[in-house]
Amino acid sequence: MISGYIEKIKYRNEENGYTVLSVSVEGEEEILVGTFSHIEEGSYISASVKERVHPVYGEQLFVESYELKRPDDEKGIEKYLASGAIKGIGPVLAARIVKKFAKDTLRIIEEEPERLEEVKGISENMARAVSVQVQEQKEQRAAFVYLQKYGISMKLANKIYKEYGERLYSIITENPYRLADDIQGVGFKLADEIAQKVGISADAQFRIKSGIVYILSKAAANGHVYLPMERLMNIASELLNIPDELIPREVADMQIEKRVSVKQIDGEDVVYLTTSYHTELSIARKLLELSVNSDNLRKDVEKNLPKFEKSLNIELDDLQRQAVIKSLSCGLIIITGGPGTGKTTTINMIIKYLLSKNMEVLLAAPTGRAAKRMEEATGYEAKTIHRLLEINALPDADDMETNLGLNFERNEDNPLEADAIIIDEMSMVDMYLMNSLLKAVSVGTRLILVGDTNQLPSVGPGNVLKDIIASGVVEVVKLERIYRQAGLSDIVLNAHKMIEAEPIDLAKSSKDFVFIKRSGADNIISACITLLKSKLPDYVSADSYDIQIMSPMKKGMLGVERLNLILQQHLNPKHPKKPEKEFDGKVYRVGDKVMQTKNNYQIEWSVKNDIGIAMEKGQGVYNGDIGIIRYINDFEEFIRVEFDDRKIVEYPYSEANQLELAYAITIHKSQGSEYPAVIIPMYPGPKMLMNRNLIYTAITRAKKCVVLVGIPEVFYAMVENTKEMARYTGLKKRIKELAALSKEE
């Protein structure tokens, strides 16, 4: 048993309560680790501890059970108050209060706070404020203890308390499913567990309705915009353990409440979350509004384009020329095509022609890395779509991932001011982001959408690019010719062979598309390490850190989680001169290659000169940005990461969960990026995941060389597997319906 005052909370994960504490025990510092519900510096702790050996930090005292006690001596009380436990009371006031009330201090603060006015420097208003604060803290601690009984994390408990206050007790006992509706992060399953504990009936109406919302939301996370009624009934019946005939009744009720919309697609009833249906409808309407063509402009461009090509010494093919003409004379156009088909040349020609006519052009892409690629390819500034639309608040990470509930300064009331807007990597844009973009585009502004339909679809719901093309209503130009330079690349040729279902000879000698046969996960990893450390850097004239290993999977023998641990040991092993820090069981050390895993629009960066003076400053680091840990400061508790373009970002330990090791990344995370060389382990995985879209996306990320390592049969199986998970989307139908109606009018 160890007892003492908590001197400092060195690290705390609010998600799970994992905490590292510095405790003063008889004048000596002891470091305790464990999970704590609610804890403050200055508190007195009695803890039962067990010694354990940590692989990084050596011997630690792990807290098995604990009790927080009020300090019972004057020194302890003063220390507690001076810690900042009560806002407005610092070391000076703490000393005065304890001098006045001695051991009775804490009782007086709680029971007779008005007496604090007796202390010099404390006004009536301040005494009242302290009283309110102490009461709130007491209520909050009680609420946290109560919520912990139901398995609710510290972070969620804080959200729940802020939302409901003292009402949380009645809500949990009467209808805990409200938590799932009102609190981001409280899912149906947690609410259902609570409901079971408080004795709510399995067939309660609000339980079934909450279950339906959960199922539709879960479907959205898998890319679906709606679910067929029959499928919804089957899933709900299994999830809720109730007869499926109860579902339509509640769906009908929810329709009246405008929580869901029931429509017909291909002769069957389908169920949307109402938000999703209206989003789809809004996109369709705006697309048709923007599809305004000008014959006069078309004639002008057709007349002048050959001269313009000649002046720039660029010769376009017929399809590229068609794309340029339509981009300049149509309100809305899609330009699509695989690698090497001249999309970049076409975009550059469009930009140059528009600028020659003194027109304003805006460029954007869904991710930071895709925007950077676009900027490099065109020579003009490109932003993320979120930046372009001027996101006006920092949303929850979940909202950033799905683009749901985001608010932008640019909208129908404050549209983007431009003659043309070009969006690249459109396959990555989900329905919610597309809707936000379209709201900010005025009729008369040309919207040019560029993408490859064979890439992976968006993370969020919908299949926007494919659906718009499939509608047959919007102008589309598909570039098909593979240019001579690109045609020399087996990366490009094999990518097209995949799409055309033509055979690929893995035994063929190639400069840029190589297959190395290996069997067994560890043999594959060993070959990948050799390629990364010694073979590829000189071959592609790039640093090993710029060469990217990409795996189809996150888990498993060749998933990125295991790969990163092994690669870290080989590429950046433990060293006395390399500081390191553990977060949630993962070790990060100076020299590690890391990736930003979510868009952070507020974090600050700077570019410094050789003597450390900031030459440039800005904000924003994006999902997929890769950098190197340059410094870990355990005293000030931050990690310094250097990203591309020498941008330096300092992460407080509390935000380190935004980073993950990036020696290996998932293919999904590579979307919108390019690397000098790519290494892809070929090892069996889930059939639904291991499909053509995935391997196509992976090999087209390589600029100079792609090396596949492993089992040839796995590669061939992926190429043959065209059964990517079909998405339930209705955008094609909405566009066609509205187009038909407008013709009738």
Higher pLDDT, 423 or 8: 423
pLDDT exceeds cutoff 70 at 401: no
Distance between terminal CA atoms of the chain? 82
pLDDT at 397: 47
pLDDT tens by residue, 20-77: 888 888 778 888 888 776 677 767 788 888 887 665 556 678 887 777 776 777 877 7
Beta-carbon count within 10 A of 690 CB: 19
Comparing 230-239, 489-498, 579-588, 714-723, the range with the smallest average pLDDT is: 579-588
Average pLDDT in the chain: 88
Q: Are 23 and 2 in contact (CB under 8 A)?
A: yes
Percent of the chain with pLDDT over 70: 95
Classify burial at 326, counting beta carbons within 10 Å of its beta carbon; exposed 0-12, middle 13-18, buried 19 or more. Answer: buried
* Average pLDDT for 316-326: 92
d(CA 611, CA 631): 16
pTM of the model: 0.79
> Which 8-state DSSP code applies to residue 554?
S
Task: Please report, as a single letter, which amino acid is at residue 321.
Answer: R
Comparing 134-138, 412-416, 494-498, the range with the smallest average pLDDT is: 134-138
* Average pLDDT for 213-217: 93
pLDDT exceeds cutoff 90 at 185: no
* Average pLDDT for 136-163: 78
* Average pLDDT for 486-499: 87
Task: Please report, as a single letter, which amino acid is at residue 237.
Answer: S
pLDDT at 635: 82
d(CA 462, CA 436): 14
pLDDT exceeds cutoff 90 at 255: yes
pLDDT exceeds cutoff 70 at 14: no
Higher pLDDT, 16 or 195: 195
pLDDT at 393: 59
pLDDT at 84: 67
pLDDT at 716: 95
d(CA 671, CA 428): 8
At residue 485 the predicted structure's pLDDT band, cuts being 50, 70 and 90, is low
> Which 8-state DSSP code applies to residue 37?
S
Q: Where are the beta strands (DSSP E) in 156-307?
A: 226-228, 260-265, 268-273
pLDDT at 56: 54
Angle (CA) 222 263 209, round 5°:
65
Higher pLDDT, 149 or 366: 366
pLDDT at 292: 87
pLDDT exceeds cutoff 50 at 94: yes
**Which of 113-122, 162-171, 338-347: highest mean pLDDT?**
338-347
Q: For residue 8, what are the β-bridge partners? A: 22
pLDDT at 684: 94
* Average pLDDT for 719-723: 88
pLDDT at 259: 94
* Average pLDDT for 460-466: 94
pLDDT at 139: 80
* Average pLDDT for 378-392: 91
pLDDT exceeds cutoff 90 at 443: yes
Cβ neighbors of 210 (< 8 A, separation 6 or more) are 177, 180, 181, 188, 191, 192
pLDDT at 745: 62
Higher pLDDT, 247 or 671: 247
Work out whether strand 18-25 and strand 2-12 pair parallel, antiparallel, or are unpaired.
antiparallel
pLDDT tens by residue, 580-620: 998 877 899 999 999 998 878 788 899 988 777 878 888 88
Q: What is the CA radius of gyration of the chain?
A: 30
Beta-carbon count within 10 A of 315 CB: 11
